[in-house]
Structure 1
Amino acid sequence: FPDFMIYTASNSKGDRVNFGVFGVTIPSNPKDFVHYDDIFNESVRAYNEASENSDFVVGLTHVSVEQDKEIARRIPDIPLIMGGHEHYNMIEQVGKSVIAKADANVVSLYVHTLTYDPATKNLRVDSELVPVTDKYSSKPEVQAAVDKWNKILDQNLKTVLDDPYEVVYHAVVPLDGTDTASRSEQTNLGTILGKSMSLAYDDKPDGAFSNGGGIRIDDRLSGDITGKDVFRILPFGGSVLLVDMKGKLLREVLDYGLNASGTGAYLQRYNIDQNPRGEWLVKGQPLDDSKTYSVAVNDFLMLGLDIPFLTKDNPGVLKIYTPKENEIAGDLRKSIIHYFKSGGK
């Protein structure tokens, strides 16, 4: 992909305006075969290069709002940053720069109207948050693209599930998979996820936890739930590791997750709670720093991307069991489907 694009718009008088768009994104889940540069330095570079042939330049980003604000501080003349990442709508102002983000999962979108006067070179930005409802019909070309990718999705689901549309659970009480809850409090869906991870190892672990940011559906599920719905909840999948770690490290991990409330690093837990004094309990007993605990952990968390010190190289990590692909623990989605189909046993 190019670092920036330049587009041309014109009015009925034949006046023309060139505007540039550059983009940066967070280096989430980095790979060895990809080169990553500093998002702030690259934003400034791309903005400056695009400005050479543009009347104005805007940003299209997928970074945190604090990073968007820093970009705006480094590029004080940027009029608009169209952002993402936080999953809920917001609009911020840094100097004369507008930072706008709509809700995730096409719940809403921002419509930005940019009015440029070629004579004065003045640019006005008007931003409106618009809910996406059924009153807006899909364009045929958009629906064709959706149908194409749904077909690809179904083909891929069938490599994991015999029947992605089989009902695996009936939720009488809605399961809370909303982003806000998953990233800030223990939810009933988070408890089910943790329990299914533990049951993948016959409920032998002392506890289980996963990053709340891995729950992506941003919705409450009730009634019949299919295998496909489970993939909507946990699209990233991954395996369930069995990790032996010292109590001191476990405490540090739990404290980090608690302090990360509002982010994807907040932990959804099973058999790990706090008493009224805020002390950590594992299976109802006070956490002992000197004790070794066996915990079920999703493999993503052990990469150190959400909790920087939680890696296989941490001296507090004593042993890691990685399941085979055909084991229930080999896929997080399989573990929760197994839990649902077995009636939670």
Structure 2
Amino acid sequence: MGERFKGAHMIELMNHLGIEYVVLGNHEFDFGAEEVKKRMQESTAKWFGSNVRDAATGALFDGVVDTEIIPLQDGLKLGVFGVCTEETPTLSYPGNSVLFEDVFATSRRCVEDLQARGADFILALTHLSIAQDKQLARRVPGIDLMLGGHDHEPFTLYEGKTFIHKSGQNAFWLARLEFQLTRSAEHPERGLAVLPQWSMLANAHLPPQPECQAILFKYMRAMASEDDLEQNARVLATLGTMLSTRTALLRAGESNAGNLVADALRSELATDVGLINGGFIRGDKEYSARTNVTVGILKHEMPFPRPGVVVRIKGSDLRDALLQHLKKYPQQSGSHPHVSGLELMVDMRSNPPVITKMAYNSGELVDLEAELTVATSKFVAGGGDGCSCWLKGEILREAAKIPEIVADFMMKKRLLAYPENEGRITILD
């Protein structure tokens, strides 16, 4: 649905829900900067992106709000700004016309501006990793509350005097945060008293709101012909074992779903090695043994219909690229690799980390001076997720879209039996 409507369905849902304030994230740019501008024009919310600029002029990205003062009761003022990850150009497709400025310098500027305008309490809307959120709280005094995204897991914590909250992915939870702010008229020198309280509401198994469901069905009808429905229901293979697409495994461990996709790429494109980044698989589910895997399930799990490619690359450059994929470990990252045809041992205790073993399944060590072929996504081969060593390789050919490649592989296998952990990548930490 995202590929077809480029986010228009999400904007209509957000407008219906009365969302008032939004911060830009990397995935807003999945279809390019011009599509972002269209969606923002359709939205009734205010969009923050204090560090998102026009690369040519240095002006704020069209339609974006820099800072805002919101009047509260008792004459208090809430100051708001928002920042988006500087890694967006390597995580999505904003193009060369958009500049993502340093989040720390931007935040410092915004806090100083809001304080000068009399803000009593400052809220930062962030689309950063939790590690960066913590660092921001330490490096930029004056931020009272951060509401964050980007990470797929929920977090609630204090970093110094800054309250940080993330609700996790896919609206699995809805957070309710309340802050009682009081200032003593008799003793203003005591400053603002802040009393926070919060709760997490699980959305699982709740009946859908009829109005939201109607909006969703409208878009589903627009894209679903009878042939589409039949195609989505088509069974490709049956699971002989449980298959996990849990985000935590895909982004920081070994996932048998990641192994499956890497195997499909290597087998169908006839290469020495297959590789997929964990962020390509998005469902965050567990499928029990005897589940029939359908075309619809593949579309749900791999919503980015990106093509597979065959890359010819030197062994040493592949080694260096793999280390780039693992650079954020043990933090969850969409770059986390899943491989086929390789066995790796990585020593993360070393500074910098090193790959101590890189061998083919036969046990033969990979010749670091020789070239080999790798099947992966066009995103990865283009240096996505900051893995620039892939650019030293050469794309030999572009194949079908990866969900189609995986579907062909599944139809040949018919029965898929993958253990939970094969030890394809052993990490010493």
TM range (shorter): 0.7 to 0.9
Q: Does 1:123 find its partner at 2:194?
A: yes
Q: Does 1:298 find its partner at 2:377?
A: yes
2:280 to 205, 214, 222: 214
Distance 1:164 1:43 in 2: 46
Deviation per residue, 1:69-94 (Å, 9 max, x gap): 23222432211101122211222322
Q: Does 1:247 find its partner at 2:308?
A: no
Deviation per residue, 1:25-49 (Å, 9 max, x gap): 2223242232322222222333344
Matches within 5 A, 1:1-345: 1-10=64-73, 15=74, 17-26=76-85, 27=88, 28-29=91-92, 30-51=94-115, 52=117, 54-119=119-184, 121-134=192-205, 136-151=206-221, 154=224, 163-201=231-269, 204-222=270-288, 223-258=291-326, 260-261=328-329, 262-274=332-344, 279-284=357-362, 285-312=364-391, 314=392, 317=393, 319-323=394-398, 329-343=399-413
Residue equivalent to 2:22: none
Contact 1:247 1:291 survives alignment (8 Å): yes
Task: Give the 3 Å change call, closer, same or farther, for CA 50–150 of structure 1 in structure 2.
Answer: farther
- Secondary structure of the equivalent of 2:241? strand
Q: Percent identity?
A: 24
For 1:281, give the aligned amino acid: A
Task: Give the 3 Å change call, closer, same or farther, for CA 171–50 of structure 1 in structure 2.
Answer: farther
Query: 1:335 Cα deviation (Å)?
Result: 0.9
Contact 2:308 2:401 survives alignment (8 Å): yes
Query: 1:258 Cα deviation (Å)?
Result: 4.6
Deviation per residue, 1:164-210 (Å, 9 max, x gap): 33333332422111111112333221121012112332xx2001101
Deviation per residue, 1:51-81 (Å, 9 max, x gap): 4264322112110112212322243221110
Residue equivalent to 1:326: none
Query: 1:220 Cα deviation (Å)?
Result: 1.3
Distance 1:232 1:85 in 2: 20
Query: 1:154 Cα deviation (Å)?
Result: 4.8
Task: Give the 3 Å change call, closer, same or farther, for CA 24–259 of structure 1 in structure 2.
Answer: closer
Q: Which moved more, 1:278-287 or 1:330-339?
A: 278-287
Contact 2:143 2:162 survives alignment (8 Å): yes
For 2:65, give the aligned amino acid: P
Q: How many residues align?
A: 326
Task: Give the 3 Å change call, closer, same or farther, for CA 148–62 of structure 1 in structure 2.
Answer: farther
Distance 2:135 2:264 in 1: 41
For 1:59, give the aligned amino acid: A
- Secondary structure of the equivalent of 1:342? helix
For 2:111, give the aligned amino acid: Y
TM-score by length of 2: 0.68
Deviation per residue, 1:199-245 (Å, 9 max, x gap): 332xx200110111222111112313322221221222311110111
Distance 1:172 1:137 in 2: 32
Query: Structure 2: which 5+ residue stretches go unaligned?
Result: 1-63, 186-191, 348-355, 416-429
Distance 1:6 1:149 in 2: 36
For 2:81, give the aligned amino acid: F
Task: Give the 3 Å change call, closer, same or farther, for CA 287–71 of structure 1 in structure 2.
Answer: same
- Secondary structure of the equivalent of 2:169? coil
TM-score by length of 1: 0.83
Task: Give the 3 Å change call, closer, same or farther, for CA 76–292 of structure 1 in structure 2.
Answer: same
- Secondary structure of the equivalent of 1:279? strand
Query: 1:147 Cα deviation (Å)?
Result: 3.5
Task: Give the 3 Å change call, closer, same or farther, for CA 4–173 of structure 1 in structure 2.
Answer: farther
Distance 1:154 1:331 in 2: 20
Query: Structure 1: which 5+ residue stretches go unaligned?
Result: 324-328
Task: Give the 3 Å change call, closer, same or farther, for CA 85–151 of structure 1 in structure 2.
Answer: farther
- Secondary structure of the equivalent of 2:311? strand
Query: 1:338 Cα deviation (Å)?
Result: 1.7
Contact 2:84 2:100 survives alignment (8 Å): no
Query: 1:289 Cα deviation (Å)?
Result: 0.9
For 2:406, give the aligned amino acid: I
Query: 1:99 Cα deviation (Å)?
Result: 1.2
Query: 1:119 Cα deviation (Å)?
Result: 4.2
Task: Give the 3 Å change call, closer, same or farther, for CA 76–150 of structure 1 in structure 2.
Answer: farther
Contact 1:105 1:218 survives alignment (8 Å): no
Contact 1:240 1:330 survives alignment (8 Å): yes
